[in-house]
Amino acid sequence: DADVTQTPRNRITKTGKRIMLECSQTKGHDRMYWYRQDPGLGLRLIYYSFDVKDINKGEISDGYSVSRQAQAKFSLSLESAIPNQTALYFCATSDPMGEQYFGPGTRLTVT
């Protein structure tokens, strides 16, 4: 089984809808991250969490919120989706040395 899983893998939603992307990990890492990938822009950090009680904004947090329900679970929410949030979203965990392990990604389309 994969160490970092994301659900759903694909999602199409309408403008204004609330949507949640979920991430689970079995690596036992404290640190978890959410990124979005857009063509030509690479991956940009949305939010990161060092542990259940420590959540931090990344480079592009506007329009997003997160919840760290447990060490193994880190969810990303779009309270009111807009078309420019159409992107590929990746969850990742980090080991103490700093290497990051990525989930398979969630492709989100907002129409």
Partner 1 sequence: AQSVTQPDIHITVSEGASLELRCNYSYGATPYLFWYVQSPGQGLQLLLKYFSGDTLVQGIKGFEAEFKRSQSSFNLRKPSVHWSDAAEYFCAVGARDTGNQFYFGTGTSLTVIP
Residues making contact with partner 1 (CB under 8 A): 31, 33, 35, 40-45, 48, 50, 56, 58, 90, 92, 94, 97-100, 102-105
What tokens appear for 32 in the block?
A: 């978890």
Count of other CB atoms within 10 angstroms of residue 67? 14
Q: Which is nearer to partner 1, 18 or 44 (CB)?
A: 44
Q: Which is nearer to partner 1, 38 or 79 (CB)?
A: 38
Cα(66)–Cα(62) distance, integer angstroms = 11
Cα(37)–Cα(89) distance, integer angstroms = 6
Minimum CB separation of residue 2 from partner 1 in Å reads: 9
Q: Which is nearer to partner 1, 84 or 98 (CB)?
A: 98
Q: Which amino acid is at 40?
A: G
Minimum CB separation of residue 22 from partner 1 in Å reads: 16
